[in-house]
Amino acid sequence: MIIAVIGNSSCSPEEAKLAESVGELLAQRGATIICGGLGGVMEAACRGAKSRGGLTVGILPGQDSSRANPCVDIPVVTGIGEARNLAVVKSAQAVIAIGGSYGTLSEIAYALKGNISVIGLNTWSLSRNGREDDSIIRVRSAVEAVDKAISLAKRRKNYEIASLRSQ
Amino acid sequence: MIIAVIGNSSCSPEEAKLAESVGELLAQRGATIICGGLGGVMEAACRGAKSRGGLTVGILPGQDSSRANPCVDIPVVTGIGEARNLAVVKSAQAVIAIGGSYGTLSEIAYALKGNISVIGLNTWSLSRNGREDDSIIRVRSAVEAVDKAISLAKRRKNYEIASLRSQ
Amino acid sequence: MIIAVIGNSSCSPEEAKLAESVGELLAQRGATIICGGLGGVMEAACRGAKSRGGLTVGILPGQDSSRANPCVDIPVVTGIGEARNLAVVKSAQAVIAIGGSYGTLSEIAYALKGNISVIGLNTWSLSRNGREDDSIIRVRSAVEAVDKAISLAKRRKNYEIASLRSQ
Amino acid sequence: MIIAVIGNSSCSPEEAKLAESVGELLAQRGATIICGGLGGVMEAACRGAKSRGGLTVGILPGQDSSRANPCVDIPVVTGIGEARNLAVVKSAQAVIAIGGSYGTLSEIAYALKGNISVIGLNTWSLSRNGREDDSIIRVRSAVEAVDKAISLAKRRKNYEIASLRSQ
Record: contact B124-A124, CB cut-off 8 A:
no
Q: What pLDDT is attached to residue D9?
A: 97
Test the A interface: residue of C59, C64, C76, C80 with most A CBs within 10 Å: C80
The 10s digit of each residue's pLDDT in B18-30 is 999 999 999 999 9
pLDDT confidence tier of residue B162, bands split at 50, 70 and 90: low
For residue D91, give how far its alpha carbon lies from the nearest alpha carbon of chain A (Å).
Answer: 5
**Model confidence at C129, in pLDDT bands (50, 70, 90)?**
confident
This prediction's pTM:
0.96
Q: Of all residues in chain C, what percent carry a pLDDT higher than 70?
A: 95
Q: A144 pLDDT band (50/70/90 cuts)? A: very high
Instruction: Check: CB of residue C106 under 8 Å from CB of residue D106.
Output: yes
Q: How far is C115 from chain A (nearest CA, A)?
A: 25
Inspect the interface and report whether the beta carbons of A103 and B123 lie closer than 8 Å. no
At residue D126, the pLDDT reads: 97
- Identify the weakest region by mean pLDDT among A138-142, B106-110, B163-167, D13-17: B163-167
pLDDT band at D161 (very low <50, low <70, confident <90, very high): low
- Of B129-133, C63-67, D66-70, D124-128, which gets the smallest average pLDDT? B129-133
The set of chains that have 3 or more CB pairs under 8 A with A is B, C, D
Region B109-132 average pLDDT: 96
Please give, one letter per residue, the 3-state secondary structure of chain B: CEEEEEECCCCCHHHHHHHHHHHHHHHHCCCEEEECCCCCHHHHHHHHHHHCCCCEEEEECCCCHHHCCCCCCEEEECCCHHHHHHHHHHCCCEEEEECCCHHHHHHHHHHHHCCCEEEEECCEEEEECCEEECCCEECCCHHHHHHHHHHHHHHHHHHHHHHHHCC
Residue of C nearest to B67 (CA): C164
Residue B130 confidence class, pLDDT cut points 50, 70, 90: confident
Which residues in D have their CB inside 8 Å of a CB on B?
63, 79-83
Residue D162 has pLDDT above 80, yes or no: no
Given this model, what pLDDT does residue D20 score? Answer: 98
pLDDT beyond 70 at A167? no
Q: Which residues of A78-116 are buried (b: 16+ CB within 10 A; e: fewer)?
A: bbbbbbbbbbbbbbbbbbbbbbbbbbbbbbbbbbbbbeb
pLDDT at A158 (0 to 100): 75
Listed residue (C130, C128, C112) closest to C120, CA to CA: C112
Please count the CA atoms within 13 angstroms of the CA of A42 that sit on its side-chain side.
Answer: 26
- Give the pLDDT score at D167: 52
* Mean pLDDT of all residues belonging to chain A: 95
CB-CB contact of C79 with C63 (8 Å): yes
Nearest Cα of chain B lies from the Cα of A53 at a distance, in angstroms, of 32
Check pLDDT > 70 for residue C162: no
Is B47's pLDDT higher than 80?
A: yes
Interval C58-82: pLDDT, tens: 999 999 999 999 999 999 999 999 9
Per-residue pLDDT tens over the stretch D56-115: 999 999 999 999 999 999 999 999 999 999 999 999 999 999 999 999 999 999 999 999
pLDDT (0 to 100) of residue D129: 82
Q: How many CB pairs under 8 A join B and C?
A: 72
Rg for chain C, CA atoms, rounded? 15
For residue D165, is pLDDT > 80? Answer: no
pLDDT band at C119 (very low <50, low <70, confident <90, very high): very high
H-helix or E-strand spanning residue A77: strand A74-77
D123 min Cα distance to partner chain C (Å): 6
Helical residues (DSSP H) of A29-141, grouped into ranges: 41-51, 84-90, 102-113
Which residue among B79, B82, B83 places its CB closest to the CB of D82?
A: B79
Q: Under an 8 A CB cutoff, do C64 and B91 touch?
A: no
Please report all neighbours of C, defined by 3+ CB atom pairs within 8 A: A, B, D
Q: What percent of chain B has pLDDT over 90?
A: 92
What is the DSSP annotation of A6-20? EE-SS--HHHHHHHH
Contact B81 D82 (CB under 8 A): no
**CB-based contacts of A150, cutoff 8 Å, min separation 6:** A1, A3, A26, A29, A31, A94
Task: Looking at A63-141, list the stretches that DSSP marks H as alpha helix, in order from N- to C-terminal side.
Answer: 84-90, 102-113
What confidence score (pLDDT) does residue A165 get?
Answer: 61
Residue of chain C minimizing CA distance to A81: C80
* Cα–Cα distance, B52 to A68 (Å, whole number): 50
Residue B65's pLDDT band (boundaries 50, 70, 90)?
Answer: very high
- Which residues does chain A have within 8 Å of residue D90's beta carbon, measured at their own beta carbons? 63-64, 77-79
B83/A81 touch (CB, cutoff 8 Å), yes or no? no
Q: What percent of chain A has pLDDT over 90?
A: 92
> For residue range D20-57, what is the model confidence (pLDDT) as tens digits?
999 999 999 999 999 999 999 999 999 999 999 999 99
Three state DSSP letters for chain C:
CEEEEEECCCCCHHHHHHHHHHHHHHHHCCCEEEECCCCCHHHHHHHHHHHCCCCEEEEECCCCHHHCCCCCCEEEECCCHHHHHHHHHHCCCEEEEECCCHHHHHHHHHHHHCCCEEEEECCEEEEECCEEECCCEECCCHHHHHHHHHHHHHHHHHHHHHHHHCC
pLDDT of residue B87: 98
| pLDDT band of C130, cuts 50, 70, 90 | confident
- For position B165, what pLDDT does the model report? 61
C129/D99 touch (CB, cutoff 8 Å), yes or no? yes
Q: Residue A111 pLDDT more than 60?
A: yes
Q: Please answer yes or no on whether A80 and D83 come within 8 Å at the CB atom.
A: yes
Give the separation between CA C116 and CA C161, rounded to whole angstroms. 15
